[in-house]
Amino acid sequence: MNPHTPSGTVTVAENQRPSMAIVEHVARVDGVDPLDLEPLYNAIDPEDLDAICESGSESIELEFIYAGRTVTVAKENGTVEVGIDEGISRAEASDAADTESPT
């Protein structure tokens, strides 16, 4: 399967900032607390992201890497959607690292 295929796409609520929706969605898919994720600012400026999504532009699409996943943010006709890839979750990566033997 294509590593950039969204494992889940959520529509951002009108009263929610897209930056917060990204953190919450990645945390939910990875099964971790949002506070356990790296700061979104390490991947993209949250204020700039929110401003772009709230701009008057009818259509935008952004893609970037956050917390080891490819995140896609798309805005079409005023609706903002966030999708993340099907890559390995942080929990799965941690389990794999724990079972690998040193070479």
Sequence-separated (6 or more) residues with CB below 8 Å from residue 85 = 3, 4, 5, 6, 7, 69, 70, 71
Sequential pLDDT tens for the chain (103 residues): 334 344 578 899 888 999 999 999 999 988 999 999 999 999 999 999 999 998 887 899 999 999 999 999 999 988 899 998 866 555 555 555 555 555 5
* Dihedral sign from CA coordinates of 66, 33, 11, 56: negative
Q: How many residues does the chain have?
A: 103
According to the model, what pLDDT value does residue 55 have? 87
According to the model, what pLDDT value does residue 3 have? 40
Least Cα distance to 49 among 69, 76, 74 occurs for 74
Q: Quick check: 40 and 19 in contact, CB under 8 A?
A: yes
